[in-house]
Structure 1
Amino acid sequence: MSVHEPFNTLLRPAVLHILRAAGFHGARPSVVDTVVDLTARYMMLLAERTAYNAYSNHNDLTPDITDVRMAMQDCGLLVPTLTGAEEIWKEMLRKPLEDYDEHTGARAKEAKRRLVEDTADVTEFVEWAKGEKNREIRRIAGVLKPTLSATEALDALEMEDYLTTLMKKHSKTGVESRFQGTVLGLPGDPKPVRVEGGPVDSIDDWCRRTREKAAKAAKDAPVKAETSKQTPESSEKLPVEMDTQ
């Protein structure tokens, strides 16, 4: 089993639910596998671009909203209305905010207008994700709460996503205890790995001894280098007289 197979297996039900919500009711396994593989590749590309932008922008791998937005533009999720050169020229030519009167509220209105204009692509994407086109997908995923009347008893209940429901269905002792230490549950408690039949008892002990050995070798290296440079006088080569007779 490859390292990516568990994640593709977890992604498969989500892709099937999306296809079902889009109106597909049947497909060959090879077709579904292809769609799952394309989805996984696209998500991996989005994650890689986000990490690249985070490291390029602030030299760390913890992304912020700007890094994610840039990655979504790189992957075609967000389509900016202007090119990079057009945005630079627009910023250079438009009137600075400091020139607007703050007392009349003109500066605040202009700042709000520019914010709406700059985030138009993000707003459009959010409206598309929460719109009617994806309503069925959100309903099947369990994130769309039904509209219930005040007299109904289920008014206070929150819907769960399909994965949580499936885990509870197959778990008799509780979700956390059954799936602990797996990709579905909480991380397991770290336990030391014992080494049997070796000179050390654990991997940590072996790492410590390796570091000590490397530090000692690095410390003794200059002494050995100086010793090798010193040559006894007796070992100097003497010129050899050749008999020309």
Structure 2
Amino acid sequence: MSASDLFRTLLRPAVLHILRASGFHSAKPSVIDTLVDLTSRYLLLVASRTAHNAYSNHNDLTPDITDVRMAMQDCGILVPSLTAAEELWKDKLRKPLDDYEEETGARAKEERRRDAEDTADVNEFIEWAKGDHNMEIHRIAGTAKPQNMTETEALDAMEMEDYLNTLMKKHSKTGVESRFQGTALGSASEAKHVRIEGGPVDSIQDWCRRTREKAAKMAESAPKNHDSLHDIVESREEFGDMVMES
């Protein structure tokens, strides 16, 4: 199984939980496969746009919150109320913050108002993500614990596990950590020394070291070769001059 097939398989239960929370109780396998494929393509689009913004903004593939927000806007997750040109003109035409009186608190009040206005789309997305519809998805998936519980219900909720851990334990007879170690579902495996059989070196590190040493020797010998070639050219020119004079 390739990496893409593995992640698509892991995405399938999440899509099923979302459909179940939305009121769907059955569907054809072809419909589920189509929805899973669309979801994976959309997540890949958001991730690729985030990496593109990170490389364009600060020449680094490690994104920050600005890169993620720009990617979410590019993919239609966040819908700003104003276009980029409208925001630019609004920023130029509105009254500067320095003109507001700081003693009366007008400057701080205006600054809070502008911050809330600039982050309105993000706040709407957070409210949607924490809304009742998404809480129903968490409840069905087993990742959200019910609130206002009695003591007995709280103890039962502490023993509740999400669907992924339950599925992993179902298919693991020797323990989750040992069976899934080194995979996307378990902890990372310890780095081991890989020995190269049948070659002049025993490891990649030795090969890299020999390559660097060889490159250094070639760099040291390059000026000598250049000088020797230069001496040959000069001797040939002197020999030609002697022939012309004779």
Bucket of the pairwise TM-score, normalised by the shorter protein: 0.7 to 0.9
Offset from partner CA, 1:76-111 (integer Å, 9 cap, x none):
100000000000011111111121122221111111
Aligned to 1:221: 222
Aligned to 1:243: none
CA contact (8 A) 1:54 1:61 kept: yes
Aligned pair 1:62/2:62, yes or no?
yes
Which runs of 5 or more structure 2 residues have no equivalent in the other structure? none
Offset from partner CA, 1:43-82 (integer Å, 9 cap, x none):
1111111122222223322222111111100111000000
* CA distance in 1: counterparts of 2:159 and 2:83, whole angstroms: 43
Aligned to 1:135: 135
Alignment: residue pair count: 239
- How far off is 1:215 after superposition? 2.3
* 1:235 to 1:119, Cα distance in 2 relative to 1, 3 A: same
Aligned-residue CA RMSD in angstroms? 2.2
CA contact (8 A) 2:21 2:133 kept: no
* CA distance in 2: counterparts of 1:104 and 1:235, whole angstroms: 95
CA contact (8 A) 1:142 1:162 kept: yes
* CA distance in 2: counterparts of 1:149 and 1:5, whole angstroms: 40
* CA distance in 2: counterparts of 1:158 and 1:89, whole angstroms: 56
- How far off is 1:40 after superposition? 1.3
Q: Please give the TM-score of this superposition, normalised by the length of structure 1.
A: 0.87
Aligned to 1:191: 192
Amino acid at match of 2:51: A
* 1:68 to 1:108, Cα distance in 2 relative to 1, 3 A: same
* 1:99 to 1:174, Cα distance in 2 relative to 1, 3 A: farther
- How far off is 1:19 after superposition? 1.8
Aligned pairs for 1:127-206 (under 5 A) are 127-154=127-154, 157=158, 159-206=160-207
Q: Answer with 183-192 or 163-172: which moved more.
A: 163-172
* CA distance in 2: counterparts of 1:222 and 1:28, whole angstroms: 72
* 1:151 to 1:184, Cα distance in 2 relative to 1, 3 A: closer
Amino acid at match of 1:202: S
* CA distance in 1: counterparts of 2:33 and 2:219, whole angstroms: 53
Q: Answer with 128-137 or 10-19: which moved more.
A: 128-137
Q: Please give the TM-score of this superposition, normalised by the length of structure 2.
A: 0.87
% of aligned pairs identical?
68
Amino acid at match of 2:5: E
- How far off is 1:222 after superposition? 2.8
CA contact (8 A) 1:145 1:158 kept: no
